[in-house]
Amino acid sequence: MTAEKSRLYGAVAGAVLLAGLGGFAVAKLADGSDLATPAPDAAHHEASPPALSMTADQLRAAGVVVERFAVGALASEVVAQATVVAAPDGQAVLTARAAGAITRIFKRIGDPVRPGEALAVVESREAGQIAAERSAAAARADLAQKTLARERRLFEQRVSARQDYEQAQAEAAAANAEARRAQAAAGTADLTADGRGVLVSSPIAGRITAASVSLGAFVQPESELFRIADPARLQVEAAISGPDAPRVAPGDRVMVETAGGTTLEGRVRAITPALDPQTGAATALLELPSAGLQPGQQLRARIVTRAPAGAGAAGAGAVVVPDEAVQSLEGRDVVFLRTAQGFQARPVTVGRRSAGRAEIVAGLAPGQAVATRNAFLLKAELGKAESGHD
């Protein structure tokens, strides 16, 4: 009897245990705690675009260029080739003031020069003649002044007639005029102190960009000896094609890209009213910071003009960026927006593309800074960062 009761109690306890387990399982299914639901962090990650931390030093080391862009459209941009040239008052061509032989050379190509500094000496027979005429004219003027002083005293003492005094005055005036002419001729020739040669001097400050001189060479007055350029007095000239020339006006904003990746912002200062008969292009003069530019440097200019007539709403409100600024990330077009900590991959909608430029019609506001040159490096770094987290 005791054994039967034990078996009965064991069966009841087992049933109670199974019922408890079953109720626990039903409760778990009812509250859905075992169902796979998105974690709050994952949802937040989906809402926030991927970000990449990068300091300014890392940015410079990677060669990533950041630019800001205003509202524009591909139809409102004019792309042109530009050249850095010396301004009219920033260059000088030096010639000899008289025919002769070069006896001394003080400067070479690349050397800096100051205004009035001598670069070479040309020994010349003409210089000797000019110096002799200056000395003779000065002596005649001195004699005429002494004669005038004597005649004045005699006239005041009523010893000499007024006619003699007036004649001395006229001769003194003529002698002084001749002395001034001879002195001016000597100054124009820039004579040396001994009067045997002429100095070849620079009228401006700058650097020597060309020199065609050698000791002992005989040169004529019209022969070019040196060419000077002032790096601080430069201008940028852009060749605008005939169809685009009417769209460009003074005051238009311009972005200039150098071969080294530097971007300079400026304005159109002026544009020629007529096309060059040989090239069929107009020349636009651009106002840009001259720092870092060199005469002869080739640039790529993008002029943001007024919207062409009849353009309609195509591209209205778009931001035009270089094609290389748009990267593909997880099947989406993105640009890397500059932030205080680094960059953020911002999804964008790309419109038209042309001549290495792309219209961003959504996702990027005017004035925001984005990575342009070497933006693909940011994409690669972002991929490395995400792989490390995995």
pLDDT at 70: 64
**pLDDT greater at residue 19 or residue 161:** 161
Taking residues 82-92, report their average pLDDT.
Answer: 88
Burial environment of residue 56 by CB neighbours within 10 A (0 to 12, 13 to 18, 19 or more) = exposed
Numbered ranges of CATH 1.10.287 in the chain:
125-192
Whose CA is closest to 358, among 69, 80, 82? 69
CATH fold label, 125-192: Helix Hairpins (1.10.287)
334, pLDDT greater than 60: yes
Whose CA is closest to 140, among 166, 178, 181, 167? 178
Numbered ranges of CATH 2.40.50.100 in the chain:
89-123+196-231
8 Å CB contact between 299 and 292: no
8 Å CB contact between 253 and 70: yes
**Could you give phi then psi for residue 301, rounded to 5 degrees?**
-105, 140
Whose CA is closest to 62, among 358, 295, 376? 376
CATH, range 75-87+233-304:
2.40.30.170
Numbered ranges of CATH 2.40.30.170 in the chain:
75-87+233-304
**Could you give phi then psi for residue 148, rounded to 5 degrees?**
-65, -40
Taking residues 69-97, report their average pLDDT.
Answer: 80
33, pLDDT greater than 60: no
Express as a percent the part of the chain with pLDDT over 90: 26
Interval 138-172: pLDDT, tens: 999 999 999 999 999 998 898 888 899 899 999 99
Q: pLDDT-derived band of residue 215, with 50, 70 and 90 as boundaries?
A: very high
Question: Going by C-beta distance under 8 Å and a sequence separation of 6 or more, which residues neighbour residue 18?
Answer: none
Numbered ranges of CATH 2.40.420.20 in the chain:
51-73+315-389
Q: pLDDT-derived band of residue 111, with 50, 70 and 90 as boundaries?
A: very high
Question: Going by C-beta distance under 8 Å and a sequence separation of 6 or more, which residues neighbour residue 216?
Answer: 101, 102, 103
To the question of domain 51-73+315-389 being in CATH 1.25.40.10, the answer is no
pLDDT at 43: 40
8 Å CB contact between 264 and 258: yes
Q: pLDDT-derived band of residue 303, with 50, 70 and 90 as boundaries?
A: confident
The single-letter code of the amino acid at 160 is S
8 Å CB contact between 254 and 267: yes
Place of tokens 């002419």: 181
- CA 378 vs CA 48, 67, 326, 342: distances in Å: 17, 15, 11, 10
Q: pLDDT-derived band of residue 195, with 50, 70 and 90 as boundaries?
A: confident
The CATH architecture of the domain made up of 89-123+196-231 is Beta Barrel (2.40)
Taking residues 85-108, report their average pLDDT.
Answer: 89
pLDDT at 46: 46
Q: pLDDT-derived band of residue 34, with 50, 70 and 90 as boundaries?
A: very low
pLDDT at 21: 37
8 Å CB contact between 53 and 341: yes
Whose CA is closest to 338, among 142, 91, 51? 51
Q: pLDDT-derived band of residue 204, with 50, 70 and 90 as boundaries?
A: very high
Question: 280 — alpha (psi -120 to 50), left (phi > 0) or beta?
Answer: left
DSSP 304-345: E-PPPTT-TTTTTT-EEEEGGG-EEETTEEEEEEE-SSEEEE
8 Å CB contact between 137 and 175: yes
291, pLDDT greater than 70: no
| Cα atoms in the Cβ-side hemisphere of radius 13 Å centred on 61 | 5
Place of tokens 């006239």: 155
Whose CA is closest to 187, among 133, 228, 147? 133
Interval 234-277: pLDDT, tens: 889 999 988 888 888 898 888 888 777 677 888 999 999 889 88
Q: pLDDT-derived band of residue 203, with 50, 70 and 90 as boundaries?
A: very high
